[in-house]
Amino acid sequence: MSSGREGQLTLAIKMRVSPEPSSSQALLGLMRRYREALNYAVKAIIENKALSLSKAHRLLYMVLKEKYALPSKIAQDCYREAVAIARSWLSNPNRGRVPRAKTPRLWLTHRYSYRVRDSYVEVLGGYKLRIIGWDRRYNAYPNREARLILKDGKLILEISKRVPKPAKYIARGVLAIDVNEKHIVVGNSRFGYRFETAVEKALHYKRLAENLQKKYSSPKYNAWLRRRGIKRRIKSFHRKARNIIEDWAKKVSHTIASLAKQHQYAVARENLKGLVKSLRKLPKEHKIALLMLSYRRLEQWIDWQCEKNGVPIIAVEPTGTSTTCPMCSSKLTENSFRKMRCRKCGFEADRDTVAILNIEKRALKQMGGSLTTPTAPQMTDVAPNRCGEPVNPLKGALAL
């Protein structure tokens, strides 16, 4: 996922590449030196307030070439990237520590430091990398800057491209999304689906990390904790938990955007900021933190997937969506657990259904249409590991 511009989307196309065996050690050596040089440069730029390219050049060019043995052009790429990192870090009001590159890498300017030829990438310095596989959908758009990174022992080249945003279609209806502390509900007055979150799955790894930390933080084990292996395992459990959430958000948002596009619906969602705020008031447990992370990532991914697929997006006012009668707008009363009932018109449904119908209604109103006969949709549960798979689990039920 990447930032959008007016009328354009910036995509990062990832491809796995493999260096020629004879030059792979030299390339990895260069990438390691680049990482060290970059970390040094970011720090130096911030300390010396050298935020312009000419200041950074004067401050760093010779050091990067001599101390880190970077070729001239790569040294320029290095302080260029460092300036960009320093600027974005300084403009973040909630900045933590100065960012550090952890994996060996290389930042490359298109045409000057790298070019793609047939099924090879040529990197300045005479390195030739074979392309193992890539997403060819965006081949028609020019390559921009790229990053070569070493991830889990594999070399990945990420080429940045700017592509025009697809035009948004005129929506024929609304796909409402409701998010609560338990799950995601997607639907409208015709159908509805519940998606589990991946929190429980991610929590498993958080607990493993915590247990390991507890075990080795007893005085008996202090020496152990210093052992890199244990630290690395704890870290990898935390990373695993985050990856599970990210994969989940990616898959669910993809399913939502595809479903909307298939039916030419607009996606309507509440602003999730309110929900994240209310979650923040709960005890600071791993579970809540993972849930907040899930919803923040889901919101970003839904917007991104919709932009990418030309799906119109409508944000609706979130107040009272699960407590107002979607038929007559009276206030609903809670009958039993999560069951709502309207005393005035007799409408009855569970909280999730009520929310979906209200979000749909509000979105249609904003679109200038109206909902004639809302009926409670049939809810279907969708297992998190099934959503987004090539065989669309939603497809069968849609025939209704």
Site residues (vs Zn ion, CB under 5 A): 325, 327-328, 330, 342, 344-345, 347
Judged by beta carbon, residue 173 or residue 374, the one nearer Zn ion is: 374
For the bound state, the minimum distance from the C-beta of residue 195 to Zn ion, rounded and expressed in Å, comes to 28
Phi and psi at residue 375, to the nearest 5°: -125, 150
For the bound state, the minimum distance from the C-beta of residue 328 to Zn ion, rounded and expressed in Å, comes to 3
> Is the Cβ–Cβ distance between 333 and 341 less than 8 Å?
yes
Distance CA 64, CA 82 (A): 12
Best CA proximity match to 179, nearest among 253, 251, 257: 253
Angle between helices 286-309 and 228-263 (to 10 degrees): 40
Judged by beta carbon, residue 323 or residue 366, the one nearer Zn ion is: 323
Judged by beta carbon, residue 257 or residue 325, the one nearer Zn ion is: 325
> Is the Cβ–Cβ distance between 258 and 303 less than 8 Å?
no
> Is the Cβ–Cβ distance between 158 and 166 less than 8 Å?
no
For the bound state, the minimum distance from the C-beta of residue 367 to Zn ion, rounded and expressed in Å, comes to 23
Judged by beta carbon, residue 172 or residue 343, the one nearer Zn ion is: 343
Q: Give me the half-sphere count of Cα atoms (radius 13 Å) on the Cβ side of residue 219.
A: 0
For the bound state, the minimum distance from the C-beta of residue 180 to Zn ion, rounded and expressed in Å, comes to 21
Handedness of CA 378, 383, 387, 389 (dihedral sign): negative
- DSSP one-letter string for 106-132: EEE-BTTTEEEETTEEEETTTEEEEEE
For the bound state, the minimum distance from the C-beta of residue 364 to Zn ion, rounded and expressed in Å, comes to 18
For the bound state, the minimum distance from the C-beta of residue 342 to Zn ion, rounded and expressed in Å, comes to 3
DSSP-based helix, strand, coil % in the chain, nearest 5: 45, 25, 30
For the bound state, the minimum distance from the C-beta of residue 344 to Zn ion, rounded and expressed in Å, comes to 5
Judged by beta carbon, residue 274 or residue 346, the one nearer Zn ion is: 346
Distance CA 36, CA 39 (A): 5
Judged by beta carbon, residue 37 or residue 325, the one nearer Zn ion is: 325
Judged by beta carbon, residue 265 or residue 347, the one nearer Zn ion is: 347
Strands (E), 228-282: 265-270
